[in-house]
Each structure stands twice: as structure tokens, then as C-alpha cells.
């Protein structure tokens, strides 16, 4: 039994490092990262002080969506290695004190999965209802107006069954039918397979897409003034609908309870990705409140925007979260494998990048970091001829896809392909990334890498930051302030989120400045506080003996 599983609440306030295996480290010279590459580089991850790793899909797959189209849930694609290699990842991670979370894609499979092949073979077969099939309208058109996130209708005609099947993503990713008890039981068995193999939890892809409206009702239109690009790029017609019938089904919670019951036996935890820009925080509350559903929900609010996060936006996000999901638990991230890297997206300077890292470590919730952000990697510019992402190919050039954030990790400044591989990598390594390689960053104490380590350690050392409530959220111009409070600590945080100096006031109390190592400044004896550009001040209440 994994001794790291003794604490059932290990996930609360945890810092989780996302590994995109295709781009982490190649060990066999084919230009694609693999599981043994993860083993090789895990000491780097552990050196950050994070609590867990999240590994994006490595299951058997035709790779139409780079592993998010699974054709065998219980095996490793040869591109990444073997089950024995995965066991080595788990053993190495646990030896380094890291939990292991894997990315389970349960809402849909590949069209090459044996289940789908059986389902499409006959309307009467044992798996005929394992996917979402529907007859055409009398005129032969699709059953309703639902759209795919990857562009076009969410229905595809199958000549064999003379029916349409639902695909919320690529045509090659048919949706499973969660209204089938057999489907639910089979997916629970998949989760159990990996739990028995030693994983400590799951990142659940598109968790709110699991179940659809059985009546297949049309989605209503979404007014133009309510559209945004959090779920899909603005050029995608997907943003023109209010998605109330193709996802977010109320009975989805019943399946989540079954999954939680299974995970409880292993002290495992899950973070569910809620892909919904219209009701995201509300669904977060529905899926994570209480002790019988998912522990965390992956929130998108801080993954969006094309300018540095203003203090007012951060404050309103957390106020809204408190209104609609007071018992929920969010997992925050600035970057991941689906969005433009935040240093480029927000146009951050070295100073602002450090401040946003410190802010992230002071917010209520858990945290996900994406590989390479600790090195300060900017978004890569990928030429069309090098593009791999089908999403980018569909909407180019208005939306260039996700390849720019998926380029290989840079480990060695002077090595070919920055030490990622000895062969031509599956995506190019930008020359500017070489200068940010891990070995170069290690030898320069001023780099962002060392700030990440200090900020993560700071969070770990203060229970109020990891577990406490977030109270008195206040905005004064560009200054965001709030209080984090646990049973034995009160921490007061101020952040100047601008490039101009500001003056503010600290409330009365016996406050002691902490966090000098991450740039925190101290107030004056008269409680006045001067904050330089992009400067925090973090204080702890001295409660005496």
C-alpha cells in the first residue's frame, strides 16, 4: 500500500505539476516524449516542491487528438512505452514524495476503440447503446442543432447504422452514453484498474460533458453580448449557443458519487475539468460541494484574457465563487496544454511574472502548474507547415491552435533540441527557448525557476494559504488585498498589480511581515504601506504566546 495515501485530504491546497508527455523528455530517439523520459526528469519536478504530478493521456490511441482519443483505457500506447514503464513512473514519483494523477478521458473514446466498433456494427448488439446514436430528422438532417467544439455539427452520419452519432469534439471522438448503466460500470472498472496500479487520483477531462439530454432538445441561441472565448475561440460558432442540453446534465452528479465512492477506498482525489464559460463556477460548486462528489474542479477564469489580470477581475472571480459555490473547491491555473502560455497571453515582464506566481500561491484553492512555466517559456510561434493540432488547422489563421504551448521542454541550453531529444522533435524547439533552459536557469538565482521554488515553499509553510478561508477581498485601484485565515494563522495579502507605485494602508493590528524572500515589503509603523510596481506585501498576525 502506498504510504503517501494515508492522508485523504492531501489534495486540499496542493500544488500539481502538469506533464504533457509528448513534450517532456524523449529517451528512445523518436522525437516524442515518453514515460521513461518522465522518470528521468522527475527530480526536476520534485525540486520545485510541488505535491503531485498530473500526466496528460498516454493510453493507446490513434493520436487524432494526441491521446485524448483513447482506443484502450488500460494500456500504454507504444509511442510512450509500456505498463512496466508506467509502473516505474509511479514508483519514482512516490520515492520523491510526489502523488501521481492521470488524465482520464471518460466522456468519449476514439472511433477505433473496440467498444465503438461493436456499437456501430448493429443496432441490436450488446454495445449498441454504449454511444449516443440518434435517427435523422425526416429530411435526413442531424437530430438537433448541437455543435462540436472543434467546429461544425456535433453529429456524424454512420452509413452502417443509418444513424447519427454524437461527437462533442472531433468526428473521430464519439461520445459515450452515460445513460447506460453498463457504460458507467465499465468506466468505473477503468478507474479501479489505475487505482490498483498505484495512482493517487485523476484529472477528469471534460467532466461536464459526460451526460447529454436524452430528449435531444435544441440548445437556445446565446446573445452576442454574452459570448466569450473561454471555452472555444471567438471565431468558433460553438460560442453562439447556450449549452444547456448537450452537457451539464443534472444526473451527471449521480455518476460522480459512484466514482467518489470508489476513490475513497484508495484515498484518491480527482480534479474535474469543467468546460463551460457560461456556468463554470456554478457547476464547480455542484460537482465539488460536500464529501460525496469530486474534491476539486479545474477553473478556467484565470486561464483566459489577453491582458494582465486586473485586481478587479480577480476580486470579482472570488466573490462570484463565494456566491455560487460557497462549499466548492477550485483548482487554479494560468497555463495548460490548451491555451496560450500566460507570459505571452498577458505580455508579462519579469517583475509581473513573479508577482502573479506569488498571487497564485496565496489564493484559496489548489494550484496546477504547466510544464515550462517555471522556466518562463513564452508561447512558441509555429509555422503552418509545422502545425500538428487539428483544432488549429480548422480555424487557422484567426486561431492558431494549441501547438504553441505544446512545444518540447528545454533542459540543456547548449544541446541539440535543448536536450529534449536526439532526433527531430514532433514540434520544433524555438531558438529563444534554448536560453531559458533548465540548466541555465539553475545557475542564475534571479531566474523565475528559483522564484517558483520560493513561492511554492512559502505556500507550503503557511496553513492559512494552503487550507484557510479567503476573506475581506478588497480592491483599491490596482491593489488587491485579502485575508487568508485558518485555525492557527491569519495572513493578510496585498498585491500591486500594476507598473506604477501605490500607497495604501494596513488595518490596525500586530502584523509581522513575512515572505521577504519572494519580494514582500513591510508597512511603516503608522500602518501606511508603499508598494512598488508589481510588489506584494504579505503579513501575518502576531497572536502572542
Which pLDDT score is estimated for 231?
67
Residue 129 lies in a domain: no
| Assigned domain for 120 exists | no
pLDDT at 2 over 70: no
pLDDT digits (tens, 9 = 90+) for 201-215: 999 999 999 999 999
The answer to whether residue 224 is domain-embedded is: yes
In a domain, 507, yes or no: yes
Same domain, 446 and 487: no
Q: What confidence tens digit (pLDDT) does each residue in 50-69 have?
A: 999 999 999 999 999 999 99
Asked whether the predicted pLDDT for residue 411 surpasses 80, the reply is yes
Query: Do 356 and 289 share a structural domain?
Result: yes
Q: Rounded to whole angstroms, how far apart are CA atoms 357 and 526? A: 29
Does residue 238 belong to any structural domain of this protein?
Answer: yes
Rounded to an integer, what distance in angstroms lies between the CA atom of residue 276 and that of residue 232? 9
On whether residue 167 sits in a domain, the answer given is: no
Decide which of 436, 459, 482 is a domain's last residue. 459
**Domains in the chain, number:** 2
- Do 316 and 291 share a structural domain? yes
CATH number at residue 375: 3.20.20.80
d(CA 51, CA 266): 17
Distance CA 41, CA 53 (A): 12
pLDDT at position 5 is 55
Domain identity same for 323 and 255 = yes
Specify whether 366 is located in the same domain as 473: no
Residue 375 has what pLDDT? 98
Q: Is the dihedral of CA 24, 309, 287, 167 positive or negative?
A: negative
Question: Exposed/middle/buried for 463, CB within 10 Å: 0-12, 13-18, 19+?
Answer: middle
Query: Last residue of a domain, which of 410, 426, 459?
Result: 459
Orientation of helix 181-196 relative to helix 252-264, angle to 10°? 30
Structural domain of 228: 3-109+180-459
Same domain, 271 and 385: yes
**CA 409, CA 407: separation in Å to the nearest integer?**
7
What CA–CA distance (Å, rounded) separates 48 from 454? Answer: 8
Q: Do 420 and 517 have their domain in common? A: no
In the sheet that holds 133-134, the strands lie side by side as 133-134, 163-166, 155-158
State residue 4's pLDDT score. 47
Are 479 and 413 contained in the same domain?
Answer: no
Domain boundary among 426, 459, 492: 459
405 and 491 share a domain? no
Same domain, 221 and 332: yes
Residues 403, 497: one domain? Answer: no
Confirm whether 175 is domain-assigned. no
Residue numbers annotated as active site: 205, 273
Residue 481 maps to which CATH number?
Answer: 2.60.40.1180
Read off the C-alpha cell for 215: 430528449
Looking at residue 544, its pLDDT comes to 64
Instruction: Provide the whole-model pTM.
Output: 0.96
The pLDDT assigned to 3 comes to 45
Look at 335 and 307; give whichever has higher pLDDT.
335
Please report the sign of the dihedral spanned by the C-alpha atoms of residue 136, residue 147, residue 284, residue 189. positive
Of 325, 441, 429, 350, residue with least CA distance to 382:
429
Mean pLDDT rounded to a whole number for the chain: 96
User: For residue 26, is it within any domain?
Assistant: yes
Same domain, 444 and 496: no
Encode pLDDT of 89-146 as tens digits. Answer: 999 999 999 999 999 999 999 999 999 999 999 999 999 999 999 999 999 999 999 9
Q: Give the mean model confidence (pLDDT) for residues 496-517.
A: 97
C-alpha cell at 259: 466514482
Amino acid at each position: 500500500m502506498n504510504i503517501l495515501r494515508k492522508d485523504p485530504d492531501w489534495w486540499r491546497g496542493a500544488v500539481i505539476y502538469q506533464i504533457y508527455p509528448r513534450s517532456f523528455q524523449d529517451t528512445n530517439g523518436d522525437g516524442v516524449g515518453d514515460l521513461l523520459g518522465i522518470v528521468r526528469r522527475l527530480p526536476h519536478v520534485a525540486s520545485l516542491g510541488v505535491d503531485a504530478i498530473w500526466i496528460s493521456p498516454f493510453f493507446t490511441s490513434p493520436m487524432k487528438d494526441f491521446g485524448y482519443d483513447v482506443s484502450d483505457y488500460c494500456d500504454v500506447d507504444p509511442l510512450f512505452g509500456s505498463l512496466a514503464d508506467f509502473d516505474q513512473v509511479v514508483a519514482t514519483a512516490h520515492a520523491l514524495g510526489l502523488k501521481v494523477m492521470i488524465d482520464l478521458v471518460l466522456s468519449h473514446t476514439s472511433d477505433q476503440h473496440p467498444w465503438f466498433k461493436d456499437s456501430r456494427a448493429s443496432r441490436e448488439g450488446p454495445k449498441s447503446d454504449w454511444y449516443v446514436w440518434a435517427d435523422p430528422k425526416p429530411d435526413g438532417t442531424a437530430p438537433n442543432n448541437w455543435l462540436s467544439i472543434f467546429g461544425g455539427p456535433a453529429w456524424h452520419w454512420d452509413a452502417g447504422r443509418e444513424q447519427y452519432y454524437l461527437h462533442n469534439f472531433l468526428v473521430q471522438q464519439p461520445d459515450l452514453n452515460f445513460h447506460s448503466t453498463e457504460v458507467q460500470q465499465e468506466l468505473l472498472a477503468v478507474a479501479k484498474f489505475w487505482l490498483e496500479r498505484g495512482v493517487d487520483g485523476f484529472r477528469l477531462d471534460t467532466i461536464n460533458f459526460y451526460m447529454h439530454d436524452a430528449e435531444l432538445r435544441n440548445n437556445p441561441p446565446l446573445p452576442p453580448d454574452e459570448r466569450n472565448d473561454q471555452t472555444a475561440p471567438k471565431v468558433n460558432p460553438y460560442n453562439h449557443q447556450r449549452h444547456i442540453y448537450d452537457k451539464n446534465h443534472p444526473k451527471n452528479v449521480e455518476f460522480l458519487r459512484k466514482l467518489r465512492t470508489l476513490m475513497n477506498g484508495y484515498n484518491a482525489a480527482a480534479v474535474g475539468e469543467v468546460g463551460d464559460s457560461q456556468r463554470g463556477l456554478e457547476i464547480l460548486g455542484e460537482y465539488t460541494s460536500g464529501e460525496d462528489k469530486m474534491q476539486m474542479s479545474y477553473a478556467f477564469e484565470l486561464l483566459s484574457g489577453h491582458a494582465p489580470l486586473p485586481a478587479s477581475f480577480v476580486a470579482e472571480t472570488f466573490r462570484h465563487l463565494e456566491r455560487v459555490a460557497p462549499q466548492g473547491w477550485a483548482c487554479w491555473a494560468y497555463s495548460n496544454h490548451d491555451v496560450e502560455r500566460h507570459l505571452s497571453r498577458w505580455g508579462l515582464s519579469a517583475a509581473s511574472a513573479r508577482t502573479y506566481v506569488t498571487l497564485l500561491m496565496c489564493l484559496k484553492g489548489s494550484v496546477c502548474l504547466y510544464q515550462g512555466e517555471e522556466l518562463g517559456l513564452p508561447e512558441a510561434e509555429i509555422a503552418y507547415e509545422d502545425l500538428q493540432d487539428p483544432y488549429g488547422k480548422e480555424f487557422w489563421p484567426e486561431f492558431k491552435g494549441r501547438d504553441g504551448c505544446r512545444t518540447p521542454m528545454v533542459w540543456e541550453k547548449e544541446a541539440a533540441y535543448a536536450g529534449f531529444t536526439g532526433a527531430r522533435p514532433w514540434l520544433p524547439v524555438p531558438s529563444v527557448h534554448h536560453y531559458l533552459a533548465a540548466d541555465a536557469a539553475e545557475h542564475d538565482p534571479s531566474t523565475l525557476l528559483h522564484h517558483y521554488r520560493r513561492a511554492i515553499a512559502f505556500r507550503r509553510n503557511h496553513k492559512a494559504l494552503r487550507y484557510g478561508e479567503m476573506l475581506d477581498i478588497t480592491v483599491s485601484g490596482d491593489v488587491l488585498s485579502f485575508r487568508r485565515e485558518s485555525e492557527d494563522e491569519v495572513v493578510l495579502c496585498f498585491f500591486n498589480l500594476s507598473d506604477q507605485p501605490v500607497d495604501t494602508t494596513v488595518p490596525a493590528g500586530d502584523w509581522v511581515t513575512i515572505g521577504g524572500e519572494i519580494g514582500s515589503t513591510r508597512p511603516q509603523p503608522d500602518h501606511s504601506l508603499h508598494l512598488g510596481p508589481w510588489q506584494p506585501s504579505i503579513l501575518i498576525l502576531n497572536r502572542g504566546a
